[in-house]
């Protein structure tokens, strides 16, 4: 029977620590970290995420601004806004909520963000920094996964870590973070042969494929730590992950539930990145 990793509790602890650091920064340096969130169009899921991020900022003492643009916004208008935010002294982090409406070039928008304000860590220069291990920020979801593993003292070094999914947002950076922690890493995808066998060899299994109940109990090594990054709807419209909880829970040693596992960590790590960006800008001003 797996021990459930409580992402809500770990995230609350991380956020409490951030709030203390923010208060200290305000008192000692007179600086309040600032985050600008840009949302284009009226996607309901994106609106929920943005509202949650604003609320989390307020609780941590981080200043936040929202820029809600219509779906008819042009590429140039969006890039112009990003460049304006790059120049704003009171903004340390810029987050453009994805996905963007059709017709807008996400890659070009991300590349327009000042890398020192790229708190999603999606800019090419930040991706390169993650690759070589010399980073200022980490992508929020993979960083949250690492925090969850640390919270349970799950050792990564020397373990076989299997990541299912190769997206730029989760799969690839997840693999790099596990590698930086001295895990032996296998990345699986749609062309992987005998995927169940590869998954069964994992001491730490991270699933980020976006397919409901994709990972089943017969794909899990007994006692393995299983991290479910998926956020899907099952046949009844109920929120579920990539992992078939009912069949995996009796086999795994550790398991993240959905909801309440990785999800809360993502926003906690966004706050952590915004604080890190503020510290970076303070240091730059001191020089």
CATH of the domain at 220: 3.40.50.720
Determine phi and psi for 11, rounding to 5 degrees. Answer: -65, -40
pTM: 0.95
| CB-CB contact of 60 with 271 (8 Å) | yes
Which of these, 83, 110, 19, lies nearest to 57 by C-alpha position?
19
Task: Give me the domain span that covers residue 94.
Answer: 30-114
135-185: per-residue pLDDT in tens? 999 999 999 999 999 999 999 999 999 999 999 999 999 999 999 999 999
CATH number at residue 45: 3.40.50.10860
- Domain assignment of residue 17, yes or no: no
| CB-CB contact of 60 with 17 (8 Å) | no
- Asked whether the predicted pLDDT for residue 283 surpasses 90, the reply is no
Residues 155 and 247 in one domain: yes
Number of domains in the chain: 2
Residues 72 and 179 in one domain: no
Residues 154 and 257 in one domain: yes
Residues 148 and 195 in one domain: yes
Rounded mean pLDDT, 212-236: 95
| CA atoms of 23 and 131, how far apart (whole Å) | 32
| Residues annotated catalytic, as ranges | 53, 97, 120
180-206: per-residue pLDDT in tens? 999 999 999 999 999 999 999 999 999
- Domain assignment of residue 85, yes or no: yes
């Amino acid at each position: 029977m797996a021990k459930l990793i409580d992402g809500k509790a770990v995230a609350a602890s991380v956020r409490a620590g951030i709030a203390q650091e923010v208060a200290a920064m305000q008192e000692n340096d007179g600086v309040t970290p600032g985050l600008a969130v840009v949302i284009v169009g009226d996607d309901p899921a994106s609106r929920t995420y943005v509202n949650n991020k604003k609320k989390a900022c307020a609780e941590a003492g981080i200043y936040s601004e929202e820029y809600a643009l219509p779906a008819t916004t042009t590429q140039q208008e969006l890039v112009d806004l990003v460049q304006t935010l790059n120049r704003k002294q009171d903004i340390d982090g810029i987050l453009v909520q994805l996905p963007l409406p059709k017709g807008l070039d996400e890659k070009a928008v991300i590349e327009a963000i000042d890398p020192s304000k790229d708190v999603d860590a999606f800019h090419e220069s930040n991706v390169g920094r993650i690759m070589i291990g010399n980073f200022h920020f980490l992508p929020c979801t993979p960083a949250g996964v690492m925090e969850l593993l640390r919270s349970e003292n799950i050792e990564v070094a020397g373990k076989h870590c299997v990541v299912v999914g190769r997206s730029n947002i989760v799969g690839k950076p997840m693999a790099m973070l596990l590698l930086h922690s001295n895990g032996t890493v296998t990345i699986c995808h749609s062309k992987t042969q005998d995927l169940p066998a590869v998954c069964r060899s994992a001491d730490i299994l991270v699933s980020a494929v976006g397919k409901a109940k994709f990972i089943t109990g017969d794909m899990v090594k007994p006692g393995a730590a299983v991290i479910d990054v998926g956020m899907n709807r099952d046949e009844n419209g109920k929120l579920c992950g990539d992992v078939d909880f009912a069949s995996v829970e009796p086999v795994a040693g550790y398991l993240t539930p959905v909801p309440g596992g990785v999800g809360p960590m993502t926003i906690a790590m966004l706050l952590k990145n915004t604080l890190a960006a503020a510290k970076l800008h303070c240091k730059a001003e001191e020089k």
